Amino acid sequence: VNRFLRASVALHVAAACSVAVRRRTWRVAAGAVLADQLLLTGAGMVPTCDWLGPNLTRLPPGPRLRQVGLSFDDGPDPLVTPVVLDLLDGAGMQASFFCIGARARRHPALVGEIVRRGHRVENHSEHHRWHFACLPLHALRREILLAQQVLGELAGRPPTWFRAPMGLRSPLLQPVLEQTGLHLASWTRRALDGVRGDAAAGSARLLRGLAADDLLLLHDGNCARTSAGRPAVLEILPELLGALRARGLCGVALPDPGDARPF
Ligand SMILES: [Zn+2]
């Protein structure tokens, strides 16, 4: 448990003790507890915040290579994922695929194909519930363990990274991840290609200020459509891969937590 959560527990205990000893302090104690709860909730609503536990937002430290992490969320999707795989093959680059367990069950061969092409499969929960950050402990654990089991079986290797649906989470998540041997990953910059169909804006969001070791987030599932009806990611990705190559950057998957960068 990190310093922020420990301080938060200490504050709750102190507030309870204070009220037990002197009832009149209840107003101050309740105010402090409420403020702390708001802070905890706020921290969980900022995807790249690390107050609730370790949270990878860039490639881990390693040799000074010109690499960026590529990640795709919400797949596998039978129409989009194969095209993404072909585009990555064409560029000779690798990526991490944060798959939804229930979708992997529907398209098991696609998970195998992701691995066969040299990419990594990671955990993005079983159902990608919109209220994931509000789930009670047992439901939260179930969302993570169900996906962990099926993805491990289909990929031939248990995922080592977890990404929360929409990046939103509660203080309950970190203990569950620790029990499961998973580590939280978010991103440095994202295309927002799951919600906005403007491919040019999506590319610009990824490329503006792009630096080595950035971790990029795109979607091969739940894709927003361009005005022409195409999944935005299929217009963003060719441009991104070309721009990476032009800048001498290579897209890679996330290495296992704690591993030296194996590249
Ligand atoms: Zn997602």
Question: What percentage of the chain reaches a pLDDT higher than 70?
Answer: 98
**What digits encode the pLDDT tens for the residues 140-174?**
999 999 999 999 999 999 999 999 999 999 999 99
SS3 165: helix
Q: How far is the CA of 30 from the centre of ligand 1 (A)?
A: 36
How many angstroms separate the CA atoms of 201 and 90, rounded? Answer: 24
Residue type, 256: D
- Taking the centre of ligand 1 as the mean of its atom positions, its distance from the CA of residue 99, in whole angstroms, is 8
Task: Share the mean pLDDT of the chain.
Answer: 94
**Contact call for residues 226 and 232 (beta carbons, < 8 A):** yes
Residue the block writes with tokens 């795709």: 72
160 by Cβ neighbours in 10 Å (0-12 / 13-18 / 19+) ranks as buried
Please name the residue ranges forming H helices in the chain: 3-21, 26-45, 81-91, 101-106, 108-116, 137-155, 173-180, 199-207, 233-246
Mean pLDDT of 215-225: 97
- Distance in Å, CA 220 to ligand 1 centroid: 10
Ligand 1 geometric centre to CA of 218 (Å): 9
Instruction: Name which of 190, 207, 199 is nearest 229 in CA terms.
Output: 199
CA 231 to ligand 1 center in whole angstroms: 15
Is the pLDDT assigned to residue 65 strictly greater than 90?
Answer: no
